[in-house]
Amino acid sequence: MDERDAEIVRLLQTDARQSYRELARKLDIAPSTCMERIRTLTRRGVIRGYHADISLPALNRGVQGLVSVKLRVSSRTAIDAFKDFASRLPEVLSVYVVSGDDDFIVHVAVQDLDHLHAFLTDRVSTRKEVAGFRTSVVFQQVRNPVLERLEDPDIVP
C-alpha cells in the first residue's frame, strides 16, 4: 500500500459515503484513478466492506459487557463449538478467542443488567464445555474510527 492508498483508506474510514469524485478532488487525482485504486484495495482485501455505525442505545442495547469464558478443556472441538454457539446469539457483538487464563472474551450488548444476568445464567452457564466465566460491565467506550497502517519498527526508512 502506498501513501495514496493509505490516504484513500483514511478518508473512507472518516466517511465511507463520499463519492469517487469527492475523494478524487481531496486526493488531487482523476475520479477514474480513484475508482480503480478503491477496486484494487477491495480486491486485495484491504477494504472489506462498508457499514453504518449504529447507536447501541437506539437499538435498546444500553448495557455492554465483556464476558471472559474459560472452557473445561481447550480442545479445538470445544473451542469451535463454543465459538459457533456464542456467535449466533443475538446479544453478542463479537467473539474473541484469546490466550491466557481464559479462552474467550465475548462482547455483548443488552437492554439492562437484568438481561445481562439472564444471558449469563441462561445461555453461558448452561453450556457443558464452560468451566467458568467473569463479566465486566462496560461503563464507557472510546473507539478510534480511523486506523492507519503501522510501520514495521525493524525497517529503517
pTM beyond 0.75: the answer is yes
What is the structure's pLDDT at 152? 73
Residues near 82 by Cβ (< 8 Å), separated by ≥ 6?
69, 71, 103, 104, 127, 129, 130
- Residue type, position 47, single letter: I
Distance of CA 61 to the CA centre of its chain: 17
pLDDT digits (tens, 9 = 90+) for 4-60: 999 999 999 999 999 999 999 999 999 999 999 999 999 999 999 998 889 999 999
pLDDT digits (tens, 9 = 90+) for 54-86: 999 999 999 999 999 999 998 999 999 999 999
C-alpha distance from residue 84 to each of 40, 52, 95 (Å): 32, 25, 9
What is the structure's pLDDT at 47? 95
Residues near 145 by Cβ (< 8 Å), separated by ≥ 6?
13, 14, 53
What is the structure's pLDDT at 12? 95
Of the ranges 42-56, 84-98, 135-149, the best mean pLDDT one = 84-98
All domains of the chain in start order, with CATH: 3-43 (1.10.10), 57-138 (3.30.70.920)
